[in-house]
Structure 1
Amino acid sequence: MVLLLDCGNTHTVFGCADSEGKLSQIFRMETNRKKTGFEYASDIRQIFALLKIDPDGFCGAVISSVVPQLTEPYREALRMAIGRDALVIGPGIRTGLRIRIDDPGTIAPDLVAGAVAAKAKYPLPAIIIDMGTATTITVVDQNGDYIGGVILPGVGISMNALASETSLLPSIDVAPSKKLIATSTGDAMRSGIVYGTAGALDGIIDRFLSELHTEATLLGTGGLAGVICPYCRHKILVDEELLLHGLWHLFQLNEREAHRTSRES
């Protein structure tokens, strides 16, 4: 098995993948910037025990982290938890993508993982909507090249700003309201967040399609994709494990390259 780790700003997602890329035992932990590698190793081993995962059953691990200060603690934690040194997604690794942005070295690892998975699993071009702490909408073109995208505030950030910057509006959960034209303050906020975000996604997708001059596969992933995407007018396929699939493909690609280099030397 390969242990997959996707560290986001709010949560870290773990998954196990077999030799064919089939995922199992997916679990989440809070992303805590104050924890050390030892503490994360202890947490991971405790969850392994609960899920009956054999820590000696892993042949490797791969990390995507958008929290730079946690990349090394997580790497240390996996070294202690499973006895393997993890591949870290970043500059210098093989991706199988041509990254056509101004500075390819600045692309976030989660965007690389999503693009790699979209290229491997779906018809191209593909528009990838990742709804995490921030919402990113990115494009892999018909040639399999990553060509860029947009970043906008995530649903949680928008809701927190609405509640914290106003005196009369409460903190609420992210859920669809009973109807669009709401008759209570809480439902009015839910309508605004859900339909406002869905409308923003639809508008950006329309503009992307105009710029691409072709139809595209529309993919949604991230914690809130399943809540928001059904309210979009475009048909968006929600793939909650898209990034984990991308991490598995990246691990396989770099393992093959390492074996080839080893044989040549």
Structure 2
Amino acid sequence: MILVLDVGNTNIVLGVYKEDKLIADWRLSTASKMTADEYGTQIIQLFLHNKLDISDVEGVIISSVVPDIMYSLEHAIIKYFEIYPIVVGPGIKTGINIKYDNPKEVGADRIVNAVAVHEIYKKPAIIIDFGTATTFCALTENGDYLGGTICPGVQIASDALFERAAKLPKVELIKPKRVICKNTISSIQAGIVYGYIGQVDYIVCRMKKEMMEFGENPLVVATGGLAKLINEESRSIDLIDPILTLKGLRIIYDKNKEQGI
């Protein structure tokens, strides 16, 4: 079995692969002050709950955009699984050519998603990840990572509105039937959800135009917690792959497994 971990600013998503099949996945809150023992015992409890034996884990790979958490998380894996994890970063084989001005600036999650799309769909693509931030990434058919756009995530925008506007309540992120709303809660929901749908469609439209200058007609792939909600009204998303990042981690592990111990 292979354990894959995607560390985001809000959550850590974990998955267990048996060969090419994802047999379990979980989500933990990202907490930079937790110790290696706290992370280790939490992960072991998840394995026990699913009746999985940690001794069957032969490799671990981690991608992270939260540097502060990595010391504890890596040491948890080393202590409780007796495995040195592969960490996605410089020196890791991906099969992707990063065309950023400074390749080290590209988040590990964006690279992992690009690897998954390149290997699975084998087409030029625009990859949208609805996480703490919403990222748009452009990828050519040959695997050139051209760059992209980073926007505040939907939940960040909602929380900021609640925190900075004294009379506006915190609302659940659901899609009202109309944009001409007759109460404050529905008005906020419509503004956030339909506003982000418009943002997605506009940015994808602009990215497609720029990619088509190079003869690339991209597939638009979305992932992340709010992808389904946005896709209900978006005109630009071709497909949703909710475990895209976990798939990418599994692929990168196979390319680099000789590095694990």
TM-score, normalising length: structure 1:
0.94
Aligned to 1:249: 251
Whole-Å Cα distance in 2 between the matches of residues 29 and 191 of structure 1?
29
**1:168-179 correspondence to structure 2 within 5 Å:** 168-179=167-178
Residue 125 of structure 1: CA displacement?
Answer: 0.7
Comparing 221-230 and 164-173, the one that deviates more:
221-230
Residues 123, 217 of structure 1: 8 Å contact kept: no
Quick one: percent identity of the two aligned structures?
38
Whole-Å Cα distance in 2 between the matches of residues 228 and 71 of structure 1?
32
Aligned to 1:228: 230
Whole-Å Cα distance in 2 between the matches of residues 198 and 80 of structure 1?
44
Aligned to 1:84: 83
Whole-Å Cα distance in 2 between the matches of residues 142 and 252 of structure 1?
21
Whole-Å Cα distance in 2 between the matches of residues 200 and 254 of structure 1?
37
Residues 194, 231 of structure 1: 8 Å contact kept: no
- Aligned AA (1:245): K
Give deviations 1:168-192, integer Å, cap 9, x for gaps: 1100111111322222111111111
Give deviations 1:17-42, integer Å, cap 9, x for gaps: 122x2212110000011101111001
Aligned to 2:209: 210
Residue 235 of structure 1: CA displacement?
Answer: 3.4
Count matched residues. Answer: 257
Aligned to 2:138: 139
Whole-Å Cα distance in 1 between the matches of residues 217 and 231 of structure 2?
18
Aligned to 2:3: 3
Whole-Å Cα distance in 2 between the matches of residues 208 and 123 of structure 1?
19
Whole-Å Cα distance in 2 between the matches of residues 107 and 234 of structure 1?
24
Residues 99, 144 of structure 2: 8 Å contact kept: yes
**1:80-229 correspondence to structure 2 within 5 Å:** 80-213=79-212, 214-229=216-231
Structure 1 runs of 4+ off > 3 angstroms? none
Residues 135, 149 of structure 2: 8 Å contact kept: yes
Q: Which residues of structure 2 form unaligned runs of 5+?
A: none
Q: Which residues of structure 1 form unaligned runs of 5+?
A: 260-265
Residues 7, 66 of structure 1: 8 Å contact kept: yes
- Aligned AA (1:234): S
The DSSP-based 3-state class of the residue aligned with 1:142 is: coil
RMSD: 1.3
